[in-house]
Structure 1
Amino acid sequence: MTQPLRGDVRWVRLTGIAGVLASIAWLVGDVLLLGLPMGSPSSYPILTTYEGMPRDLLAQMLPASTTRLAWGALLGVLTGPLYLAACWHLWQGVRQARRWLSLPPVLLLTTGYALAPFAHGSFYYWGQSAIAVHESGSRSEVLTALPGDMATVLFIPYFVLLAFWVVGSAWMAVCVLRGNTAFPRWMCVVNPLVCIPVGALVIGLFPGTAGVALQGAALSIGNLLFFALSTAALWTRARNR
């Protein structure tokens, strides 16, 4: 059974909107960081040093200017606190359930969102290091290895935050499905674990230039969908009290 909201309805709405605004800012940041056509190994020999995802991501950043990379990173870092406010919004949606069901998923998701600005902002340093090595023409093994070393540090928090999101999403889904929250039961399928893959599918719907611009934005599109739907669900719930 769906329960009424306990918190101030205005703050629940505003903090939900904070999550939407943060997702939009991060989406723009992703476009700035990773939204250019990939550079080729013939133009950027440093790409031959890497393979897989690191190579693809570097190929997207190498053609970008310093200013573009800086703004792409800063948009995510500076708006990171909005995601933490949005986690309070999620707590208001599930807090009516038993504490062991409602508190852990919110803490897990909040931890993931707290780690995300570091990972997002680190793309600037990673991309800039690769650009610097390329433009210097250096054949030093130490310098050439520098972007790879930075990528290792960058991907560790990314994997950790994704793990927190996966566990938190599954836990939240169970909490909402059991009822006794302010969220309607259909919200059990609205969480980062579901919305981020949907974001990747959405990118595939855009051909040409638009698809290239959005190629690195699956997480931000997923979060935009997540917080837009959670805000709508609690907004409607508040209006129907």
Structure 2
Amino acid sequence: MVLRRVCGLVAAVLTLGALVTARPAWAGPPTEQLRAQMDRVIKVLEDPELKRDGRQAERRAAIRRLANDIFDFPESSRRSLGPHWNARTPAEREQFVKLYADLLERSYIDKIEMYSGERIQFVGETIERNHATVRTRLVTKAGTETPVDYRMHRVGDRWLTYDVNIEGVSMVANYRAQFNKIIQASGYASLVSKLTEKQEQGIEADRDGSIRKASQTK
């Protein structure tokens, strides 16, 4: 339940580019890049052409591309798998990154259109060499505030997010605990099987959704 809430809040936060507060004077490259990424997500969500019937797959593909610009999936995968990462072959690592990215992207896309009316406040930024934390608050219409920290690192000239910490709960730590529990109980192959099953269920759900949408327009 905690992980589902984290994914939902991450989606909410990343859809609110149009509702962020004014640019703070202290804002540095990590904050500015995160803000720009949010703005791009909003443009896709508000694109009237992509809201048309029959264009859901295209819209989701656009959101996936943006998610790849926001998150460093290989780094997040490595941290989420923890000590089990070192035991994986290059092929296994590549497979895991793809499954992990698909898991996050589907959670992101499924939740992204469920939120409205919240505001983002950028409240601070710390940079230590190639790592940064951008601190924000998610403020609901009722005035409830939720602290959200983005853990980022520099890759070339870009700052990419590898973890999101919401109310002290780390997305990476949550996944690491779940993945470790499965591996300890039934092995790494079992984890891959479960992630593959989730991926197949997601693909099937997307296909069913497209079919229903098409039938409604006839």
* TM-score range normalised by the length of the shorter chain: under 0.3
Relative to total residues, which structure has the larger helix share, 1 or 2? 1
TM-score, normalising length from structure 1?
Answer: 0.25
Which structure ranks higher in relative contact order (CA pairs < 8 Å, sequence separation ≥ 6)? 1
Relative to total residues, which structure has the larger strand share, 1 or 2? 2
